[in-house]
């Protein structure tokens, strides 16, 4: 029977002491960083032109260049997410 008034008195004391807190409440700030449009635009696929082996080599080199551009964009996005 005495436990309920004791609990009520304890809660009353805690609410009084809660108001004496010296720290102001901390409000988190959310920073939204948008990815620049030039990093998300699609990389064009080079068209196949020619009928000789040399043309195939040039096409392979243009595909390699397009892949390097895609990887550079991905690296830039990854570095933005780390910051």
pTM of model > 0.85:
no
Residue 18 placed within a domain: no
For residue 73, give its domain range. Answer: 41-83
pLDDT tens digits, one per residue of 29-72: 888 878 888 888 888 888 888 889 999 999 999 999 999 999 99
pLDDT at 37: 84
Phi first, then psi: give them for residue 43, nearest 5 degrees: -90, 125
How many domains are contained in the chain? Answer: 1
Number of H helices, E strands in the chain: 3, 0
Residue 78 placed within a domain: yes
Tokens 């243009």, residue located: 62
Of 7, 82, 80, nearest to 38 by C-alpha is 80
Residue 71 to residues 46, 64, 77, 81, Cα–Cα distance (Å): 16, 11, 10, 15
């Amino acid at each position: 029977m005495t436990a309920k008034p004791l609990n009520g008195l304890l809660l009353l004391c805690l609410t009084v002491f809660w108001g004496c807190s010296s720290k102001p409440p901390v409000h988190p700030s959310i920073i939204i960083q948008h990815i620049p449009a030039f990093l998300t635009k699609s990389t064009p696929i080079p068209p196949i032109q020619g009928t000789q082996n040399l043309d195939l080599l040039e096409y392979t080199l243009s595909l390699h260049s397009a892949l390097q551009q895609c990887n550079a964009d991905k690296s830039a996005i990854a570095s933005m997410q780390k910051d």
